[in-house]
Amino acid sequence: DSGVTQTPKHLITATGQRVTLRCSPRSGDLSVYWYQQSLDQGLQFLIQYYNGEERAKGNILERFSAQQFPDLHSELNLSSLELGDSALYFCASSVDRGESPLHFGNGTRLTVT
């Protein structure tokens, strides 16, 4: 168990809808990362937050947004969902801005129908 908790485990929704994925980092970790794993794109970095502030951005669509709250949990919001957004979304956490290894959660499997 990595100590990173992601909810829900599975999510099924329809095109055009909006969903929120939640992540609680390991105790003491200040950084939260979001990654997407899809069949056609593989594993891609989306965004990083450190202690409540956005620190780095990757291939995150404009329809997607994230935030990190004062208690350090993070939410990834996906809107106007398309079939191609179906993927496994991972959250990972680390203790610092970018030197320490990442600890991944078990992911949220999103299916858009």
Stretch that binds other proteins, among 12-20, 21-29, 35-43, 68-76 (CB under 8 A): 35-43
Q: Does position 89 bind other proteins by CB under 8 A?
A: no
Of 38, 106, 39, 42, give the one whose Cα is nearest residue 78: 38
Q: How far is CA 69 from CA 2, 41, 53, 103, in A?
A: 21, 29, 9, 19
Number of residues near other proteins (by CB under 8 A)? 28
Instruction: State the pairing for strand pair 87-94/31-38.
Output: antiparallel
Closest contact distance (angstroms) between CB of 22 and other proteins is: 17
Of 79, 85, 90, 81, give the one whose Cα is nearest residue 23: 90
Single out the residue of 52, 55, 60, 73 in contact with other proteins (rule: CB under 8 A): 55
Closest contact distance (angstroms) between CB of 27 and other proteins is: 18
Single out the residue of 29, 72, 81, 107 in contact with other proteins (rule: CB under 8 A): 107
**Identity of the residue, 78 or 89, whose beta carbon is nearer to other proteins in the bound complex:** 89
